[in-house]
């Protein structure tokens, strides 16, 4: 077994201290507005994000960061593609936490960066396969949102795991398609998710930071 696989699963484990549990990526607003109400609508919402929205964008950014000599250009691009202030803060805070812990534990030169950029950079420094990193990142991202949904609506543990398992082939597909794509391939059509992240900013009461 390749020991690097254990490193990757550690980085993307829910136990890794990036504070992902505090963010819903706009899902809280979508639930409050009745757009996401049960397992089927949650799965559809997450599929759109992964295939058409920030999941796809992050997948490409991970690859760009893994290949870049100068990471500042990729970081600027990643910031420009954040659709709302809350989503930017989400990526900033998780990325800074990831960079701080990873740099200290693995002795890497890893400055504070947005999360997908920090992950791609760390993957390069550790010699990890970009497609594997991206696929596991997407699964962890979806898993965090499924966990958030359990706190926001009547979704049991079995139903939650069924939703996440159903997304696994899509995570693999998006990771595979992102390989070799560049800045000119970036686009996002998950408009409802982006708008939800903007509406969340003024939502009261709320459980999550985004």
Per-domain residue ranges for the chain?
32-185
Please, which pLDDT band fits residue 169 given cuts at 50, 70 and 90?
A: very high
CA distances from 36 to 145, 146, 166, 182 (A): 12, 11, 17, 32
The average pLDDT across 191-209 equals 90
Q: Does domain 32-185 have CATH number 1.10.4190.10?
A: yes
Contact 190, 50 (CB under 8 A): no
Q: Which two tokens stand for residue 81?
A: 């593609």
Please report the pLDDT score of residue 1 as a whole number. 60
User: Cα angle at 34 between 31 and 39, to 5 degrees?
Assistant: 65
Residue 90, SS3?
helix
> pLDDT tens for residues 139-157?
999 999 999 999 999 899 9
Please report the pLDDT score of residue 203 as a whole number. 86
> pLDDT tens for residues 116-134?
999 999 999 999 999 999 9
Does the pLDDT value for residue 135 go beyond 70? yes
Please report the pLDDT score of residue 2 as a whole number. 77
Contact 47, 167 (CB under 8 A): yes
> pLDDT tens for residues 8-37?
999 999 999 999 999 999 999 999 999 999
Please report the pLDDT score of residue 168 as a whole number. 97
Please, which pLDDT band fits residue 202 given cuts at 50, 70 and 90?
A: confident
Whether omega for the bond prior to residue 108 falls within 30 degrees of 0, making it cis, is: no
What does 103-146 look like in DSSP terms, one character per residue? HHHHT-------HHHHHHHHHHHHT--HHHHHHHHHHHHHHHHH
- List, in sequence order, every beta strand (DSSP E) within the chain: none
User: Cα angle at 207 between 136 and 77, to 5 degrees?
Assistant: 45
> pLDDT tens for residues 34-86?
999 999 999 999 999 999 999 999 999 999 999 998 899 999 999 999 999 99
């Amino acid at each position: 077994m390749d020991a690097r696989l254990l490193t990757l699963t550690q980085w993307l484990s829910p136990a890794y201290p990036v504070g992902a549990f505090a963010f819903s990526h706009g899902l809280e607003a979508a639930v409050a507005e009745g757009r996401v109400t049960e397992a089927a609508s949650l799965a559809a919402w997450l599929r759109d994000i992964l295939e058409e929205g920030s999941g796809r964008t992050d997948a490409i950014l991970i690859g760009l960061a893994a290949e870049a000599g100068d990471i500042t250009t990729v970081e600027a691009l990643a910031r420009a593609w954040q659709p709302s202030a809350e989503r930017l803060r989400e990526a900033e805070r998780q990325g800074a936490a990831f960079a701080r812990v990873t740099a200290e534990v693995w002795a890497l030169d890893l400055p504070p960066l947005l999360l997908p950029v920090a992950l791609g950079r760390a993957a390069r420094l550790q010699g990890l396969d970009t497609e594997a990193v991206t696929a596991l990142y997407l699964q962890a991202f979806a898993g965090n949102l499924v966990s958030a949904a359990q706190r926001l609506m009547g979704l049991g543990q079995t139903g939650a795991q069924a939703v996440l398992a159903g997304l696994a082939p899509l995570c693999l597909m998006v990771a595979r398609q992102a390989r070799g794509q560049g800045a000119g391939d970036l686009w996002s059509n998950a408009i409802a998710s982006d708008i939800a992240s903007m509406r969340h900013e003024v939502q009261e009461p709320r459980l999550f930071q985004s």
